Structures are given as C-alpha cells and as structure tokens.
Amino acid sequence: MELRHLRLVCAIADAGSVTKAAAGLGLAAPALTTQLQRIEHAFGGRLFERDRRGARPTPLGELVLSRARVLLPAVQGLQDEAARFAGLAHDSGGDGLPGYRIGAVNGPLVGGVMHRLAAAQPSALLSTYPSWSSAELAAMLADARLDFAFIGTCGEANPPDDSRLVWHTVATAPVFVLLPASHPYADADEVDLADLAGSRWAATPGDGCFAGCFATACARAGFTPSPIHESDLGGCSDLVRGGSVVALCQPTFREIAGVRAVPLAGTPLRWRHLLGWHPGSPAARVAPLLISYAEESYGDAIRLSPTYTRWLTHHPA
C-alpha cells in the first residue's frame, strides 16, 4: 500500500465515479478500475459500491477515506517542510548543479545518465528515486522534491501534469514480448499478437493507460487477454522462464538464459521515454545537458540489444 493508492481512493470518492476520476487523473477508466481492485484486495474488502449511478463508499471505504484525508495532508506538510529545511530548491550558478535528484520508472536511461553526470561533475551530489508511478514523479517535480524525472507513456498519451512541467521525448520505442526459449515463436523475427491469444500475460506495474491500450490492441487482434500479472522485471523474467506466462517488455531488454525478446508484428504498442523538469526550477538551465546524456544512454542501450538493433535496420522510420 502506497500513498498514491490513497490518493486514488480519495479521487474516486470526490468524483463520485471511477470514470470521472479517471478523466480527472488522466488515466483510462479500465486502468483505474484495475488499480482499485488491487487496492481493495490489499484492504480486504470492497471500498465502493459501483453501479450506473456512480461509486459510493462502503463502510470499509468510509473508514479508509477518513484516515486517508488525515494522512495525505500530513505527509504533504512533512515533505514541504523538509524540502524547505534542506534547501532543496538549490541553485549554484555555473554550468551545473551542486546536486541532481533524479526520479525514474523502469527504463534504460537513468544508469547511463548518472554515469555521465558522475564523470563530468565529480563533486555533484547524485541521488535517485525509483517509482512505478509517473504521477508520483510528476508531483515530486512540481513540488521541487526532484530535479528531473524519467517516465514513460503509452503511444501518444499525455504525460502527467504537462501544463506545469516540461516533458521532452528522448525516444519512441516499440513494445516487444518476452517468450520462454521453448516457445514456438522464441526464435522468430516477429510474432503476431493474435498468435499469443491463449497466453497468460505479465508486465511491470505502473499507472497510466498502458493496460487499456494493451486491451485495445488485443481486441483489434481478435481476442480478450487474460488479466496481466504484475511483477518487477526480475519477477517477470522468472515467470517467463518458467513457461507459465509471456511478458510485455521494452526492446532494450537484455536477454538472459531461458528467455527471448521478440518484436510484435505491425508494432501494435509503442512506448515513449520522456525526461521531465519544472520550467521554473534551477534544473531548467541544465536540461539540454540531461537531454544529450539521455539520448546517448539510449543509444548505448540499443547497441547492447542485437534484437532491437536488427529490428531498427528493417524499420528505419
């Protein structure tokens, strides 16, 4: 259970329906419904009675809401006070910053960027904040608790809080599928999504509309997918290697024994890698440097993936 889950519960209660809350949060309604089901499972019961008239809190939901409406402002107040105390809105002038606080969702960029920053500015303090939630990282940028954030969005979906923050697209990539080495299509140049219709699926967690986009792509391919099992990257790899699931993955995935990353024919799913910052922060002046480091890091990740390199030669656009 994370604070973002409590924020989602409050958003649904305030909006009076999952659909309205999803629109306000910039999420697809099916994605928010899936997250709500996980939250309810964690609490051990239904938080809302839902029908055509909307969503109304159950007694358990009322209990969770009463506590959440105390906890969330308290945590926000603590974060604001700590940020002021530590002087995190730093500005030293010159060509760099005294420190770089970089948040990131799962992706191939942050390691290479941190390596380049450490080499170019040995005296700078470097810290990272991992998260599965792009919305959480965007909120931390807006509150000056991070300087930069690496997130991803599905297709052309808008990134969170794009009215206040600047988001630069570092790369747009196809989504591949991770198959066990024993799978009939493990050594294929590509596989049609329809050929995986009977599979059980896994993917790394996150907010946004990816689950909805995946369901839409499967519908176009003529089938309804089984529910996605969420796990970290290592967990997904283990599930695939065991032969129980296939997993959605980024094309820069570094293949390990027992699994293969295979392109999906026709590129039905795409993923944008974004670098974000607040335009009014000291980080804004060094954003071009971070962009160049991010693009170089993505180039390195491509070169380490023979499958993706080969795919790009046949799909230069």
Whether the per-residue pLDDT at 87 is higher than 50: the answer is: no
Q: Are residues 141 and 276 in the same domain?
A: yes
Single out the residue in 55, 86, 117 at which a domain terminates: 86
Q: Treating both helix axes as pointing N-terminal to C-terminal, what angle do 29-43 and 3-15 enclose, rounded to 10 degrees? A: 120
User: What is the pLDDT at residue 86?
Assistant: 53
Contact 152, 273 (CB under 8 A): yes
Q: What value does the mean pLDDT take over residues 113-122?
A: 94
Residue partners of 306: CB distance under 8 A and separation at least 6: none
Regarding whether 221 and 209 lie in a shared domain, the answer is: yes
pLDDT of 119 higher than 50: yes
**Same domain membership, residue 186 and residue 158:** no
Query: Three-class SS of residue 172?
Result: strand
pLDDT band at 25 (very low <50, low <70, confident <90, very high): confident
- pLDDT of 155 reads 84
Domain membership flag for residue 292: yes
Are 275 and 245 in a shared domain? no
Q: In what order do the strands lie in the sheet with 201-203?
A: 228-230, 201-203, 246-249, 176-180, 259-263
| Number of domains making up the chain | 3
In this structure, the answer to whether residues 256 and 189 fall within a common structural domain is yes
Distance CA 230, CA 249 (A): 12
> Is 93 contained in some domain?
no
φ, ψ of residue 299 to 5 degrees: the values are -60, -40
Residue 94 has pLDDT above 60, yes or no: no
pLDDT of residue 106: 86
> In this structure, which amino acid lies at residue 272?
R
Q: Are residues 306 and 235 in the same domain?
A: no
Say which CATH number the domain at 238 has.
3.40.190.10
Domain that holds residue 234: 176-268
197 and 234, same domain (yes or no): yes
**Residue 138, strand partner residues:** none
Report the alpha-carbon distance of residue 161 to residue 184 in Å, rounded.
43
Same domain, 141 and 213: no
Regarding pTM above 0.75, the answer is: no
Dist CA 19 CA 28 (whole Å):
8
Q: How confident is the model over 259-300, as pLDDT tens digits?
A: 999 999 999 999 999 999 999 889 999 999 999 999 999 999
Residue 91 within any structural domain of the chain: no
241 part of a folded domain:
yes
Average pLDDT over residues 66-71: 92
Considering the domain boundaries, does residue 151 fall inside one? yes
Q: 22 by DSSP, 3-state: which?
A: helix
Residue 84 confidence (pLDDT): 54
| Pair 18, 82 in one domain | yes
How many Å apart are CA 261 and CA 247, to the nearest integer?
9
In a domain, 104, yes or no: yes
Whether residue 200 contacts residue 242, with contact meaning beta carbons closer than 8 Å, is answered with no
pLDDT, position 233: 83
Q: 89 falls in which pLDDT band (50, 70, 90)? A: very low
Residue 196 falls inside a structural domain: yes
CA dihedral 54, 60, 65, 70 (to 10 degrees): 180
The confidence score (pLDDT) of residue 93 equals: 46
- Average pLDDT value over all residues in the chain: 90
pLDDT of residue 9 exceeding 90: yes
Which tens digit of pLDDT belongs to each residue from 215-238?
999 999 999 998 888 888 888 899
Mean pLDDT of 139-151: 93
Give mean pLDDT, residues 119-131: 92
pLDDT tens, position by position, 238-248: 999 988 899 99
Identify whether residues 223 and 161 lie together within a single domain.
no
CATH of residue 44's domain is 1.10.10.10
pLDDT band at 192 (very low <50, low <70, confident <90, very high): very high
Q: Domain check: are 253 and 224 in the same one?
A: yes
Residue 37, CA atoms < 13 Å, CB-side half-sphere: 8
Q: Is the same domain home to 181 and 306?
A: no
Sign of CA dihedral 246, 251, 256, 262: positive
What torsion do the CA atoms of 83, 87, 92, 96 make, to the nearest 10 degrees?
A: -30
Does residue 64 belong to any structural domain of this protein? yes
Distance CA 236, CA 249 (A): 9
